[in-house]
A = this chain, B = another copy of it.
Amino acid sequence: MSFRTRLRYRFGDIDEAGIAYYPKLLHYCHCAFEDWWSDALQHPYPRLLHDDKLGLPAVKLEVEFYAPVRYGDEPWVHVAVLRLGTSSVEFAFWMTRGDDPKPLCRARVLTAAVDMDTMQKRALPEVWRTKFQQHLIREEDFPSGR
Contact = CB atoms under 8 A, between A and B. Distances in A.
Q: Is the interface of A mostly helix, strand, loop or mixed?
A: mixed
B35 A8 contact: yes
Contact of A30 (B14, B23, B72): B23
B34 A26 contact: no
Interface stretch (A44-52, A89-97, A134-142): A44-52
A8 B31 contact: yes
Contacts of A116: 17
Contacts of A8: 31, 34-35, 38
A18 B16 CA distance: 7
Number of copies: 4
A89 to B, nearest CB: 15
Contacts of A131: none
Contact of A21 (B12, B17, B38, B46): B12
19 contacts: A8-B31, A8-B38, A10-B34, A11-B21, A11-B34, A11-B45, A12-B30, A14-B16, A16-B18, A16-B71, A17-B49, A23-B24, A46-B72, A57-B68, A58-B65, A59-B64, A59-B65, A60-B65, A63-B63
